[in-house]
Structure 1
Amino acid sequence: FRSIFFPVPEACELGNQIIVAQSDGVVRQKQPLPSRFEPEKQSVSESVSLPAQPVSQQKTNKRQRGDVGVTDQMIEDYVRTVIRENIAAALKMEETFIQDDRSFSEYGLDSILSVNVIKLINKQCNITLQTTVLFDYNNVNQLVRHITQAYKPALISLLKKNLPPVEDQKDAWEEVNHTGYATEQNLTHDGGIQRRQKDQGKDAIQVERSAERVYEKETVQIKTFMQQDSIAIIGMSGRFGKANSIHELWKYLANGTELVEEVTRWDLSGKNISCKYGSLLEHIDQFDPLFFNISGLEATYMDPQQRIFLEEAWKALEDAGYAGSGMDGRLCGVYVGWGGSDYESLFGDQVPPQAFWGNAGSVIPARIAYYLNLQGPAVAVDTACSSSLVAIHLACQSLWSNETEMALAGGVCIQTTPKFYENAGRAGMLSPTGHCYTFDDRADGFVPGEGVGVVVLKRLRDAIADGDHIYGIIRGSGINQDGTTNGITAPSAISQERLERHVYDTFGIHPEQIQMVEAHGTGTKLGDPIEYGALTRAFRHYTDKKGYCAIGSIKTNIGHAAAAAGVAGLIKILLAMKHRQIPP
């Protein structure tokens, strides 16, 4: 059940109570085992099955415990049974109903259960799996291959200790089939592992795509246009939480100030919302439509995300020295990350046609392009939390390919209803304590934030030739997807590491020269360790040096600004370089 609450807590004193709960719709019932399976399931902690071998190789003399060789098949059988039994126990289901090629998430194995399962597997196999491993190896087959390859010596040592003396095994060798080999059915010692599906996987070709294997096989193809020039950041502007400009933002960052406070935009007291804190923008209802030649009627029905991004895009161009008629007709692209809108839900039935395009995400970049007559692409990007960074990546691509001569890129996230709080709260993502504890043992989820950020980009050689002020340069960028993980929202350390190393190699970046990493760092028990582990392994491929690179996340200050989170981190880095200070 979820969303459990007690509407009349005072009734407890009377010996009665009313409990209201929402069912998840899953009904677990104990079912009889299919007849083809052994009715008695035996514990993996007692002993292991013996290897099949020719009768001619059997020794008649008595040997001590552990003298029998441990085969790869024995290791695989043991690990597979440990995994299956612990998952079945955690989910309170029969082991025989677990299919080895189905994702753990399909069985309802959530992050809390995953941590407990990994602890038990570590104990029974005498290994040290990270609690995040189920995100990278998300079914039984993948996890078995990973464990048997990464921890083979430890497993051999463990199994040798558990092998019974050979004289106790002689009954297992008495019956042989016509080929001269002991049958698999007779190779199970009392208390050992029953191989219930002996033909499973024999005809399947199974390939594990680990980060190391895939990376070593890939040929890094460096595009000529990427080698030619870096991308200069020549202007920027933004608003995040209570910071109405990037200059105010730096004051808060330099002092280590948290801009999270109790939400007052809506009354959340009567709602079943776990987190009532946020870092929300101020004055989202204020806008000067006449400055942009927009009527008051149209402005009223414009999503605040359109209004405020339009303002900050203009300010970023002002900061770069290019606002006004000088942009008329230029090949300037506009790339904006956004994550949907709920503003239209506040309207009644009778709305003017302006409400149609006033709430379209595609119009967010089109507004500034229309107002300034920009001739480059105008693209809205929705890739969830990475939206603004993907928008910046696409802007860099357009500059490298000479599709544009300049680009505006960034992201925006503004909430006009509490829907995000309700949806994220039901998903268990929000912090009930109201803090983003990034890379911290106190981590219990993230706090929603709002923001808008825009940067102005040019090719470095053009920026130098034009005498532009340069805040910093983008040496390289890259994007990828996690692929199949333990759930659609779960990250992959393998994919993250692969992408990081690809960018380092493609653009000639040595991690030993990196002084600061601005991480995603949402403040979750599983997501943060995955990100930290991927970075560590990526760095270790190039250097063994320690204690030279700071890591942090602006979410500890402004919460999680969703589609604007990435550009917020970029602006933080640029401000840190400008002031020559790594903020606390």
Structure 2
Amino acid sequence: MEQEAQASASQAVPPIPLPKPGPSEDGGGVFVKYKVHESSTGADPSVEVKLEPLWRRSTLVDLAKDAVADILQVQATAVKPDRPLMDLGFDSAGALKLRNKLSRRLKIELPPTLLFDHPTINDMVDNGIALLSKRPMTPAHADGVPATTQQGPISHHVIVSTSCQFPGGANSLKLYWDMLADKTDAVIEVPLSRWDHELYYSQEPQEGKTYARHGGFVEGTDLFDVTYFGLGSAEARTTDPQQRMLLGAAYDALRGDGYDKALLQNNPLGVFTALSNMEWFHLAVSKPGVYTGPGVSSAIAANRISYVFGLKGPSMTIDTACSSSLSALHAALRSLE
């Protein structure tokens, strides 16, 4: 993908490339190539910048599973990423075949001892081929000078996985997009599973009443796997639903890129959440208890994710009212830099 940044003589405007993950002719990674025009004073001193392949972890796992399945002549679904490959019948010749297949596909030189050093696909991907995801962006003319603009060095970030929960049952970006494309109205009459709106509805201003009987409601907010996330029933009951939803969303996003709790332990990954309006406990918690404090604290919302998945990076909740999400995203990007 190429983009041209048009700049005036006094100011350069860097482009914002939006890479599309997926296979490419050069090995299956994400490639972005664009130009930065530093001025328009006659000559065209443009700098062509190429981002080296960025591999999603899930793509690498699938690639390794396919290679193993091809060598053993089995279905890829039968290959478990956490099972030692020697248990499947690999020998020295098979290990060398796997190394050669992956080296050709990824276009890097892998050691002949790859399988012996990293006996499972998970270990192989996370430790043996991890450097693929750490290639810096460098100028295509290979003079060793990072590309810059008047605003400073060009940085590039890629979103590799997402999760979401929206009213109308849109629990994925595809469903959310379909809902927008179909112009579906997700605002409905208050369901009885939330409250009996007839008891509180009044057309005229009245204490303890409301003139609203419609809203947008996220489904399944009462569903939560206390065992997986390590919360007791008593703690879960006094934990704000927003905290529970964030844990579920974090799990879905991480799982979407092939990670689980065992693989994430002690990794320097940061958590930046945006959260406001923590008034739920006024309605749902009649008597404060030992779990009330952390259950209704906005700061704990981010810390729970870090604690549950064993993440060791920065962990914070940001509340700037309507701009909370934008502020949290900005803080996360600055942390990466």
Return the TM-score normalized by structure 2.
0.49
Return the TM-score normalized by structure 1.
0.29
Higher relative CO (Cα under 8 Å, sequence separation at least 6) belongs to: 1
Whose radius of gyration is greater, 1 or 2? Answer: 1
